[in-house]
Amino acid sequence: MSNLDWIIAKLQAIENEKFLIFKGEAYSYYHLVKSIERWRNRLKRLAVVEGECIAVIGDYSPNIIFLLLALLLNNNIVVPIGKESEEKRTEMFSVAKVNKYFEFNDEDNWTFCEGSPESKQPLLDELRAGHESGIVIFTSGTSGKSKAAILQTSKLIEKYKTARRKPFRTLIFLKLDHIGGINTLFSIMFNGGTIVTAQGRTPQTVCEAIQRYRVQLLPTTPTFLNMLIMSKAYDKYDLSSLQIITYGTEPMPESTLLTTHEVFPQVTLKQTYGLTELGIFSTKSRDSHSKWMKVGGQGTEIKIVDNILWVRSKAAMLGYLNAPSPFDKEGWYNTGDQVEVDGDGEYLKILGRKSEIINVGGEKVYPAEVESVLLEIPNIKDVLVSGKRNPITGQIVTATVVLQEPEDVNVLRKRIHDYCKNRLLPYKVPTLVVLSEKELVSERFKKIRS
Amino acid sequence: MEQVKKVINNAIQQIQEQKSYPVANLRDDLRIIDDLGFSSLDIAQLIAYLEMELNVDPYANGALISSINTVESLYKLYQSCLDKRNSEVEDYE
């Protein structure tokens, strides 16, 4: 028995609807239910038992979705992992106490391996005691080490038990190792919508998928909208099926919002707001060209203290597996986001975060992680990593370097790029490298971040 | 215009070499995304390089992302920005 058995009943009720379109092939909800069943039998044969932590490695694919749902129904703790370096993956396995893992290739074939047998951890044990399943999502940490947020599935999807909105054919953008990707999957599935995957994330491939499969909802980022606007790909395809574009994960530039509205006057533009720590909650934009929005909805309360947004949510994570709980005694979470509130206090505008985190197209980068990799490179004596404003990706990662011996800056840039590409995800690799003659430490021995 | 062209071509080439992209002859009508195959990070880098080399930030001064599409559109945008800045300097003098 699982606390989530209602899921299958809900999916069976819409078994004739289309669930997923992947590489041109369509899968119905009937297929989904059958595939979950098949995977649950397979899990039994592979001796995957309730309570174990299971990593699922790979990009979006039918089998990954089927397996993820089978594991949740089996009361497992799922650790979705995308394309990461070997070193990073080892760190994630150790933090999330991964017992076993499935790894998928681009053809959706999988291999199954044993991890570590031991997985005692107070928050994981709490889930096990309650026969609950969970999802571990990694978020950037200040020290450069990722923090592992553990979310209880039943709390996360409670709202879908009853609520129901119009089903949409939705293009999938965010991956399953992001809270946004998990959110999109559940929201489409429980509303009977269709997931559409594109062959790549360029403006052209995305527009082609929208045209071919008559996509209605496009959840995306301001950076992608910038690329779409620049490429003018929207002129070459019939995008008349589009009804809603949602955007989030990074601040929206006013000019991008206005141009998007001009290009798609019939489409509703809607801002989303979410944090891994807080699970899923809803937002409502005032109108398509406005950054004012309402945050909240069922199970979510907000308050504003000194212009900073605090949220208390029933869907919030239980805590971090490798860091102290960030919630106060009453369960409130300080988002760190500065907000502006309108006259009657109904709508608010997110102004951004006052911190050293660099937000590159919605992906968060902590300077410390990049600095520690750069310091491994020969001839680099000291380095300071900071964010710089950029009209395409919001911010870029900039490295100011002090050298041991003089070196041509172009040679250095190439060396840094080649070294980092095996150690850091592309958005973390410094986009701009500049040389400094001066030492980077101020008198108070604190690095100077501009 | 020749000076701006040179700086822009140079910046594009530097990024292509750094990322090991195929380096073909640059033509004015090549589209930055569709033909050069630049990603959002590459374009972000190009704009950062140009700001450093030419000392102008067109987008902070109201230029729209939609105004750049081809290599030629980059030349025009940065040249007009530089012209505008120079005329402002003259006014001031």
Asked if the A358-435 domain carries CATH number 3.90.650.10, the reply is no
When CB atoms are compared, the residue of B18, B33, B59 closest to A203 is B33
Per-residue pLDDT at A80 exceeds 50: yes
How far, in Å, CA of A92 to CA of A58, rounded?
14
How far, in Å, CA of A325 to CA of A319, rounded?
5
The pLDDT assigned to A444 comes to: 42
- Are B66 and A360 in contact (CB < 8 Å)? no
- Are B33 and A202 in contact (CB < 8 Å)? yes
Per-residue pLDDT at A229 exceeds 90: yes
Which residue blocks in A232-351 are alpha helix, DSSP H? 254-263
Six token digits for residue A22? 């992947």
**What percent of chain A has pLDDT above 90?**
64
- Are A229 and B49 in contact (CB < 8 Å)? no
The pLDDT assigned to A143 comes to: 63
What is the interface size between A and B, counted as CB pairs within 8 Å? 79
Read off the pLDDT band of A277 (50, 70, 90).
Answer: very high
Residue spans of the domains in chain A: they are 6-156, 358-435
Mind telling me how many Å the CA of B93 is from chain A's nearest CA?
31
For residue B60, which residues of chain A lie inside 8 Å, CB to CB?
A: 389, 391
The pLDDT assigned to A123 comes to: 95
The pLDDT assigned to A443 comes to: 43
Closest residue on chain B to A226 (Cα):
B65
Question: Over A237-268, what HEC string results?
Answer: CCCCCCCEEEECCCCCCHHHHHHHHHHCCCCE
- Are A431 and B44 in contact (CB < 8 Å)? yes
CATH class of A6-156: alpha beta
Side-chain half-sphere CA neighbours of A95 within 13 A = 23
Give Cβ neighbours of residue A194 (< 8 Å, ≥ 6 apart): A17, A18, A19, A20, A21, A167, A168, A169, A170, A188, A213
Per-residue pLDDT at A445 exceeds 60: no
The pLDDT assigned to A25 comes to: 93
Whole-angstrom Cα Rg for chain B? 14
Tell me: the pLDDT tens digits for A104-160?
998 999 999 998 888 889 999 999 999 999 999 998 766 667 899 999 999 999 888
Q: Which of A3-17, A233-247, A395-409 has the lowest mean pLDDT?
A: A3-17
Mind telling me how many Å the CA of A205 is from chain B's nearest CA?
11
User: Who has greater pLDDT, A249 or A379?
Assistant: A379
The pLDDT assigned to A442 comes to: 52
How far, in Å, CA of A323 to CA of A122, rounded?
12
In order of start, what are the domains of chain B with their CATH numbers? 2-87 (1.10.1200.10)
Q: Which of A17-21, A91-95, A146-150, B58-62 has the lowest mean pLDDT?
A: B58-62
> What amino acid occupies position A73?
L
Give Cβ neighbours of residue A212 (< 8 Å, ≥ 6 apart): none
- Are A392 and B68 in contact (CB < 8 Å)? no
When CB atoms are compared, the residue of B40, B59, B64 closest to A227 is B40
Pairing of strands A169-171, A348-353: unpaired
- Contact status, residue A57 vs residue A64, Cβ threshold 8 Å: no
- Are B41 and A361 in contact (CB < 8 Å)? yes
Side-chain half-sphere CA neighbours of A397 within 13 A = 32
- Are A255 and B65 in contact (CB < 8 Å)? yes
The pLDDT assigned to A325 comes to: 93
Average of per-residue pLDDT across B59-72: 88
Per-residue pLDDT at A216 exceeds 90: yes
Q: Residue length, chain B?
A: 93
When CB atoms are compared, the residue of B18, B52, B65 closest to A230 is B65
- Contact status, residue A70 vs residue A43, Cβ threshold 8 Å: yes
Average of per-residue pLDDT across A385-393: 93
Q: Which of A10-14, A222-226, A437-441 has the lowest mean pLDDT?
A: A437-441
Give Cβ neighbours of residue A192 (< 8 Å, ≥ 6 apart): A14, A17, A29, A167
Mind telling me how many Å the CA of A338 is from chain B's nearest CA?
22
The pLDDT assigned to A144 comes to: 65
Tell me: the pLDDT tens digits for A299-317?
889 999 998 999 999 889 9
Side-chain half-sphere CA neighbours of A90 within 13 A = 3
Tell me: the pLDDT tens digits for A25-57?
999 999 999 999 999 999 999 999 999 999 999
The pLDDT assigned to A1 comes to: 54
> Average pLDDT of chain A?
90
pTM: 0.85
Average of per-residue pLDDT across B28-53: 94
Decide: helix, strand or coil at residue A40: helix
Side-chain half-sphere CA neighbours of A320 within 13 A = 18
Residues on chain A bordering chain B, Cβ-to-Cβ distance under 8 angstroms: 202-204, 223-224, 226-227, 229-233, 255-256, 259, 360-361, 388-393, 396, 398, 410, 413-414, 417, 426-427, 431-432, 434
User: Who has greater pLDDT, A85 or A417?
Assistant: A417
Sheet of A348-353: strand order equals: A282-285, A293-296, A348-353, A333-341, A308-313, A300-305
**How is residue A146 annotated by DSSP?**
P
DSSP string, A415-441: HHHHHHTTTS-GGGS-SEEEE-SS-SB
CB atoms within 10 A of CB A225: 24
Cα–chain-centroid distance for residue A262?
A: 28
Beta strands in A49-153 (DSSP E): 53-57, 77-81, 100-104, 110-114, 134-139, 147-152
- Are A390 and B44 in contact (CB < 8 Å)? yes
When CB atoms are compared, the residue of A202, A413, A431 closest to B41 is A431
Instruction: Pick the residue of A431, A433, A434, A436 with the most B CBs within 10 A to test the interface with B by mutation.
Output: A431
Tell me: the pLDDT tens digits for A163-187?
677 899 999 877 889 888 898 899 9
How far, in Å, CA of A361 to CA of A110, rounded?
31
Question: How far, in Å, are A203, A246, A311, A327 from residue A251 at the CA level?
Answer: 20, 13, 19, 24
Closest residue on chain A to B11 (Cα):
A410
Beta strands in A314-403 (DSSP E): 319-320, 333-341, 348-353, 358-360, 363-365, 380-390, 394-403
ipTM of the prediction greater than 0.85, yes or no? yes
**What percent of chain A has pLDDT above 70?**
95
Read off the pLDDT band of B67 (50, 70, 90).
Answer: confident
Mind telling me how many Å the CA of B7 is from chain A's nearest CA?
14
How far, in Å, CA of A384 to CA of A441, rounded?
9
Six token digits for residue A17? 């609807």
The pLDDT assigned to A166 comes to: 84
Mind telling me how many Å the CA of A398 is from chain B's nearest CA?
10
For residue A414, which residues of chain B lie inside 8 Å, CB to CB?
A: 17-18
